[in-house]
Chain A
């Protein structure tokens, strides 16, 4: 990305958040943020970059907002009413509250009253500074579809009056997981695309990491934010080894670990330690710890499987979901042999969430394959083929099916 563009992306989120706080209106804030950045792109190459670029942008944006409100008195009157009410709802910050303007915007974009699919889109647009076409590309949907979704979400924020505010310390445990979930879902969309020709889209994953870094700076003491950032770094560190020529899928057990990003692993490991220190660990911290154990192993076979199983046991107590049970079963298959793992997977056969869930079908097929039960393995691989979302995943399963043929 262009250096200037990178600066503006970062500034855009800051500016937008500050203006949302000031005017209590996302549309106005977006409009004048864009106008201020356009003005900077015209002025700065001529006049030079001002000593305080952020201050210059803010002053310019506010001037544009004043102009806009002068032109449109009805709008101004409405905003004024909203502002009075906003002050009534959120009196000036006290020591108990978390200062920073972008944090409010994180909570607004991830508000549970918005459609789940819109939260990530809005976060990418407002906080990562992506344009609507860029957000559309991130989710592999047509630009018009994404534009409609963003308009719908902004309409709900405006008309249902979802506030721009940071939840109080007492609400934070309930609301923060929603923000983390949004960032993680952006990451997984990049790391393991749900559909399309490519397995991973590294730029999307990197936007999620950037968002987590911003959130970590805003909430330095929140251990689950640290855990999430650690988890994403420890996973993203394997990006170059995850795909082969032509984008083919390479599983963890076959990856060239020399191609893993050591610096990123090191940073992730330090975060894991911080995330696990000081009280019971949250789900992201435990998942990060699991990723760290994988990243520390010299190869797949000598991975510390008892440790991984133990961590999945902890994770299952926090999040007793079928997906965690599936991953735990796969780890037990590595520790105790394929038979033990298969027995656990078969117990999960009736879980609605695992029906037509690609990783489940694939894990089961692989264990049958390892046990030499080839006809059953073929059938299971065929189920996995039907539920695979991307072409590299389908190609991988096709190769496996060939291996099971006599």
Chain B
């Protein structure tokens, strides 16, 4: 079963890195999870200032805006899609992810399965 791990950074330091998470922590975690063979896809997202929002209204008019720059404290920083047997295994990986520490969190969402897919 596939699960999406949405990594929300907690407090950010002045350079935009998550407080309390060293790059080495991430490298160690990424190596571990990649080598375990459960990763289907994974990306880390570019800085939030690069985000652009697109909305199309009922008349088909496109609106493009800079942002959004989260008012909230948590910022989506990256994700993993993993294929593991059940939620407990997914939660274990989420708990090992450095993004779950230092005020950050990892949201675990099962990927919907459609019959015949």
Chain A residues within CB distance 8 Å of chain B: 74, 78, 85-86, 88-89, 111, 113, 159-163, 165
Docked Cα-Cα span, A98 to B84, in Å, equals 23
The reply to whether A161 and B115 form a contact with Cβ atoms under 8 Å apart is no
Counting CB contacts under 8 A, is B71 at the interface? no
Closest-CB distance, B33 to chain A (whole angstroms): 17
Docked Cα-Cα span, A162 to B110, in Å, equals 11
Q: Which 5 A-B pairs have the closest CB atoms?
A: A89-B85, A163-B86, A85-B85, A161-B86, A160-B110
The reply to whether B87 and A113 form a contact with Cβ atoms under 8 Å apart is yes
Docked Cα-Cα span, A89 to B90, in Å, equals 11
Docked Cα-Cα span, A85 to B86, in Å, equals 8
Counting CB contacts under 8 A, is B89 at the interface? yes
Docked Cα-Cα span, A76 to B30, in Å, equals 36
Given contacts A74-B115, A159-B110, A161-B1, contact A89 B91 (CB under 8 A): no
Docked Cα-Cα span, A78 to B88, in Å, equals 20
Closest-CB distance, A41 to chain B (whole angstroms): 35
Which positions 54-91 of chain B face chain A at CB distance < 8 Å?
84-89, 91
Given contacts A74-B115, A161-B110, contact A86 B87 (CB under 8 A): no
Q: Which residues of A contact B108 (CB under 8 A)?
A: 160
Q: Which residues of B contact A111 (CB under 8 A)?
A: 87
Docked Cα-Cα span, A100 to B4, in Å, equals 33
User: Looking at the complex, which one of A74, A78, A86, A113 makes contact with B85 (CB distance below 8 Å)?
Assistant: A86
For chain B, the count of residues having a C-beta within 8 Å of the partner chain is: 11
Docked Cα-Cα span, A161 to B86, in Å, equals 5
Docked Cα-Cα span, A159 to B1, in Å, equals 10
A82 (CB) vs chain B CBs: closest residue: B1
Closest-CB distance, B66 to chain A (whole angstroms): 35
Q: Which residues of A contact B110 (CB under 8 A)?
A: 159-161
The reply to whether A88 and B91 form a contact with Cβ atoms under 8 Å apart is no
The reply to whether A113 and B86 form a contact with Cβ atoms under 8 Å apart is no
The reply to whether B87 and A162 form a contact with Cβ atoms under 8 Å apart is yes
Docked Cα-Cα span, A16 to B28, in Å, equals 42
Q: Which residues of B contact A78 (CB under 8 A)?
A: 115
- A–B Cβ pairs within 8 angstroms, 13 of them: A78-B115, A85-B85, A85-B86, A89-B84, A89-B85, A89-B86, A160-B87, A160-B108, A160-B110, A161-B86, A162-B87, A163-B86, A163-B88
Closest-CB distance, A109 to chain B (whole angstroms): 14
Closest-CB distance, A295 to chain B (whole angstroms): 40
Q: Which residues of B contact A85 (CB under 8 A)?
A: 1, 85-86
User: Looking at the complex, which one of B85, B87, B88 makes contact with A88 (CB distance below 8 Å)?
Assistant: B85
Convert B81-106 into 0s and 1s, putting 1 for each residue whose CB lies closer than 8 angstroms to a CB of A: 00011111101000000000000000
A74 (CB) vs chain B CBs: closest residue: B115
Q: Which residues of A contact B1 (CB under 8 A)?
A: 85, 161
Q: Which residues of A contact B84 (CB under 8 A)?
A: 89
The reply to whether B89 and A113 form a contact with Cβ atoms under 8 Å apart is no
Docked Cα-Cα span, A86 to B89, in Å, equals 11
The reply to whether A165 and B87 form a contact with Cβ atoms under 8 Å apart is no
A107 (CB) vs chain B CBs: closest residue: B88
B115 (CB) vs chain A CBs: closest residue: A74
Q: Which residues of B contact A159 (CB under 8 A)?
A: 110
The reply to whether A162 and B88 form a contact with Cβ atoms under 8 Å apart is yes
Given contacts A85-B1, A113-B91, contact A162 B115 (CB under 8 A): no
Docked Cα-Cα span, A39 to B110, in Å, equals 37
Given contacts A159-B110, A160-B110, contact A89 B115 (CB under 8 A): no
Q: Which residues of B contact A89 (CB under 8 A)?
A: 84-86, 88-89
- A88-B85, A165-B88 known; 5 other A-B pairs, CB under 8 Å? A85-B1, A85-B86, A113-B91, A160-B87, A161-B85
Docked Cα-Cα span, A95 to B82, in Å, equals 30
Closest-CB distance, B51 to chain A (whole angstroms): 29
Docked Cα-Cα span, A160 to B107, in Å, equals 12
The reply to whether B115 and A163 form a contact with Cβ atoms under 8 Å apart is no
Q: Which residues of A contact B89 (CB under 8 A)?
A: 89
Closest-CB distance, B65 to chain A (whole angstroms): 34
